[in-house]
Amino acid sequence: MLELKWGAIVVMSSFVWVCVEYVFGLHDRHIELQPLFTTLWIPFALLLVFVALRDKKRAVGGRLTYWQGVRSATLMGIVVGLLTPPSIWVFFRFVNPGFFDAMIDQSVATGVSRADAEAYFSESRYLLMEGVGGALGTVVAGLLVMVFLRAPSKRAHAPSRDGGGKT
């Protein structure tokens, strides 16, 4: 099932992305740049969904309707939604256990109350937010990508009404 494969690829790529953020100091030394860098993930995620749906289109013989593609992206989104929380939990536990403290301190430094920062940057909220956001983002990406990948309309291949141009 291609949706499972590509959903897992999206999650693994996202995990690598957040690890790169950590390695480049975007979770401590350059924490103020972290929201910007995280936003740069969106075009990359769109590219992954495009490649996944192109792969699906090839697998079904080159004819993938808009709604078949949306269905495929929805299945990928379910996989992403289920696999993202455990993968991000691994990151928070083993790669960067100080993530939430750093984000809370950064928020407080920018004028957010400590209570609000602690409420926003809680592990349970973040795991839910990442899972739901990843799932919905994959589905929305699929909706957009299928505008470009869908099979040509049947009208484009239908014979003309005037008998093929004969007069």
The model's pLDDT over 138-150, given as tens digits with 9 standing for 90+, comes to 999 999 999 988 7
- Answer whether residue 143 is part of any domain: yes
Q: Taking Cα atoms as reference points, which of 69, 61, 17 lies closest to residue 43?
A: 17
Between the alpha carbon of residue 63 and those of residues 66, 70, 153, the distances in Å are 10, 14, 10
Cβ–Cβ under 8 Å, residues 88 and 50: no
Cβ–Cβ under 8 Å, residues 142 and 69: yes
Structural domains counted in the chain: 1
pLDDT average, residue stretch 30-57: 95
Prediction pTM value: 0.86
- Answer whether residue 165 is part of any domain: no
- Answer whether residue 167 is part of any domain: no
Q: Higher confidence at residue 151 or residue 45?
A: 45
- Answer whether residue 129 is part of any domain: yes
- Answer whether residue 163 is part of any domain: no
The pLDDT score that the predictor gives to residue 150 is 74
pLDDT average, residue stretch 54-76: 95
Confidence class for position 167, pLDDT limits 50, 70, 90: very low
